[in-house]
Every structure is written in structure tokens, then in C-alpha cells.
């Protein structure tokens, strides 16, 4: 296993879910795998859950972990090729990446969409540099277009909470004051498509996700109608894909509230966190017993550990 970006990198998803359950049940059972192995976790962006849960997962596997906030602790990286480097970026990614590879066995990278250039973001330019030049297996800890550790944890959480064989899962856009990447909704859709769920996506006009993710996925522009009979409501803000990186509206009539949850099938409420209260979701819904956001976050250790275990086994 040389990279972790999409569900297909895990192969059979049911087998992966079974393995995740075993790991959750006995997190310290595989420490021989990580002995004398080192994970370097590179953060170009802020992180709470990803930082802590991926460290915890690696420690559970007996690995050494080195965390690097690359922009703050190291050198600013040039990512363009062929330039004369006479500006404020003293190091080129073309050196930094293979060098990091020399110091570890597995690399995790977090680098958000920059919203400067849709093609750069959607080609996963930076992550692919790590995959191509590091010489090590690479885990996306949220890259420009995807957040697979989150989506895998989301799927594990849905598996644990579902009451019917094929639950109705609704991904709903919700308002937010700033432009956020599409990584979380993209991955969520990508993972739900390979899972045994009935997926509906709801958002205002103009917030359509990239076509490459939405093939065959049902979109319902009426949020309340989308919620009807849902078993899981997954809320998330994202900026426009079409009008790339723009905030088209912050209309709080899209905030998830008790009134909307009432039309669901007693749905569980999910969000990847951090969540802006009373923008994305009301206090009432978030503090209700149906909110499983903390369990969802806890499963980030399980998803990360499953991926790290697979990579260690393949070293």
C-alpha cells in the first residue's frame, strides 16, 4: 500500500471495515509492526483531530512519530518548477520531499486546497509530489480534494450506528462565513458510493461538487425534502466548485436545526469538526443525544491505525 487517498487504496471495503473493528477492539495488538519504524507527519495547515488521532494511531502501533509544522518550524517551500529562487521561499519541494523520505518509513501530509487555481488543487499537485518523490508510502491527512481518513472514520461510525442494512445518508451543505475546501464532502461522497448506503446530497444552487465525484449521486436542492426519512445527517460547508473557491451565500436557512431533524428517521447528526455552532448546526441539535460527532472524531484513530497498519505490513 503505497498511498492512501481514495477508498480503492484500501481494496475490499468490507474487509477494511472488519479490520478496523478488530483494531478498535484491541488497539495495542500490533505493536511489533511499528517497532523501529518512524512516521513523519507534515502539516502545512492547522489541525486538532488529525494531528492528535494520527499520532495516537502510530503510537498504538509502536511507531516513533515526528510532527513537523513545516511553514512555522522549517522553510517555506517553493512548488513551481524552473523558477529563479530569489524570493521568500528558500527551499524547493523537489529537495524537501525526498529528504523527508530519508528520515522516515511513512509520511502523512496535510495541505489544504489553496483556491488559487482549480487545476493545481484538483490535480493534487502537492500530494503527488510527495507520492512521486519521497520514496515512502504517503497518507493524505487532508489534501486539496480529499480527506480520506475522515471519510473512512465516517463510514466506520455509520457502520456502528446503523439500524437498517442500507441506511439513508444525507450530506447537507450548511452556511459558514469563510470559503472552505471541498475535500471533506468529496471524500464523503466517494466513500459512501462504495458503502452499502443510500446517499442524497443537498445544497443550494451553485454548490454542486466536482462532476468526477458526483457521477450517479442523487442531488436534492430542497433541504427539508432531502432530510425526510434520513438515518444520518452529515453537515458540512464547502465553497463553490463552479465559481471556484467562492462563498455564494451564507444563508442561515440552511443551518441544521431541530425542525429539520424532526422529519428524519430519528437521524444521527454527524460533522467532521471543527463545527461553527449556530451557523452549521444549532446548539440544540449538536448537544442532543443524536449527535455523534465526538464518537466520529474518536474513530479517526481507528481509520488512521488501519491505514498505518496496512502500510507497515507492506513495507
Tell the smallest beta-carbon distance from residue 64 to a copy of itself (Å).
Answer: 5
Within 13 Å of residue 306, how many CA atoms lie on the same side as its CB?
Answer: 28
Shortest reach from residue 55's CB to a copy of itself, in Å: 5
* 147 assigned ligand-binding residue: yes
Residue among 127, 75, 69, 135 at smallest CA distance from 99:
135
Bridge partners, residue 176, by sequence: none
Contact yes or no for 2/137 (Cβ under 8 A): yes
Nearer to a copy of itself, 89 or 114 (CB): 89
- The answer to whether 176 is a known ligand-binding residue is yes
Taking the complex as a whole, the smallest distance from the CB of residue 18 to a copy of itself amounts, in Å, to: 22
Pick 213 or 238: Cβ nearer a copy of itself: 238
**Considering beta carbons, is residue 50 or 200 the nearer one to a copy of itself?**
50
Interface residues toward a copy of itself, by CB under 8 A: 28, 36, 38, 40, 43, 46-49, 51-53, 55-56, 59-60, 64, 66, 68-70, 72-75, 78, 81-87, 90-92, 94-96, 98-100, 102-104, 177, 250, 273-279, 283, 286-287, 293-294, 297-298, 301
- Report in angstroms how near the CB of residue 70 gets to a copy of itself at its nearest: 8
Checking 154-157 for CB contacts under 8 A at 24+ apart, the result is: 154/188, 154/191, 154/234, 154/270, 154/272, 154/296, 154/299, 155/13, 155/17, 155/191, 155/192, 155/195, 156/17, 156/20, 156/21, 156/24, 156/299, 156/302, 156/303, 157/270, 157/292, 157/295, 157/296, 157/299
Q: How far is the CB of 174 from a copy of itself (least distance, A)?
A: 12
Q: Is 205 annotated as a binding residue?
A: no
Nearer to a copy of itself by C-beta: 5 or 70?
70
Measured torsion, CA atoms of residues 201, 203, 207, 210, in degrees rounded to the nearest 10: 0
Q: In a 3-state reduction of DSSP, which class is residue 172? A: strand
Is 312 labelled a binding residue? Answer: no
Binding-site residues, in ranges, read 47-50, 75, 110, 142, 147-150, 176, 236, 272-273, 276, 300
Binding-site residues for N(2)-succinyl-L-ornithine, in ranges, read 142, 176, 236, 276
Amino acid at each position: 500500500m503505497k498511498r492512501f487517498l481514495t477508498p480503492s487504496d484500501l481494496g475490499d471495503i468490507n474487509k477494511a471495515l472488519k479490520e478496523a473493528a478488530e483494531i478498535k477492539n484491541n488497539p495495542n495488538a500490533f505493536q511489533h509492526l511499528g517497532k523501529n519504524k518512524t512516521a513523519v507527519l507534515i502539516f502545512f495547515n492547522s489541525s486538532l483531530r488529525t494531528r492528535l488521532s494520527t499520532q495516537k494511531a502510530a503510537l498504538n502501533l509502536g511507531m516513533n512519530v515526528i510532527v513537523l509544522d513545516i511553514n512555522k518550524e522549517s522553510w517555506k517551500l517553493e512548488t513551481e518548477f524552473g523558477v529563479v529562487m530569489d524570493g521568500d521561499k528558500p527551499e524547493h519541494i523537489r529537495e524537501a520531499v525526498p529528504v523527508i523520505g530519508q528520515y522516515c518509513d511513512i509520511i502523512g501530509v496535510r495541505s489544504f486546497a489553496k483556491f488559487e487555481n482549480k487545476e493545481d488543487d484538483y490535480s493534487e499537485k502537492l500530494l503527488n509530489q510527495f507520492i512521486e518523490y519521497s520514496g515512502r508510502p504517503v497518507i493524505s491527512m487532508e489534501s486539496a480534494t480529499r480527506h480520506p481518513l475522515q471519510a473512512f472514520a465516517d463510514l466506520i461510525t455509520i457502520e456502528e450506528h446503523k439500524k437498517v442494512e442500507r441506511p439513508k445518508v444525507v450530506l447537507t451543505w450548511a452556511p459558514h462565513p469563510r470559503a472552505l475546501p471541498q475535500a471533506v464532502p468529496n471524500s464523503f461522497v466517494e466513500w459512501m458510493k462504495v458503502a452499502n448506503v443510500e446517499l442524497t446530497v443537498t445544497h443550494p444552487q451553485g454548490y454542486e461538487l466536482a462532476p468526477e465525484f458526483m457521477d450517479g449521486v442523487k442531488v436534492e436542492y430542497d433541504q427539508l425534502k432531502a432530510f425526510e426519512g434520513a438515518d444520518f445527517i452529515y453537515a458540512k460547508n464547502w465553497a463553490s466548485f463552479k465559481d471556484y473557491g467562492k462563498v455564494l451565500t451564507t444563508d442561515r436557512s440552511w443551518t441544521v436545526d431541530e425542525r429539520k431533524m424532526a422529519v428524519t428517521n430519528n437521524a444521527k447528526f454527524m460533522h467532521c469538526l471543527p463545527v461553527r455552532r449556530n451557523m452549521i448546526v444549532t446548539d440544540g441539535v449538536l448537544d442532543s443525544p443524536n449527535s455523534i460527532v465526538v464518537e466520529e472524531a474518536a474513530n479517526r484513530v481507528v481509520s488512521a491505525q488501519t491505514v498505518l497498519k496496512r502500510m507497515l505490513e507492506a513495507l
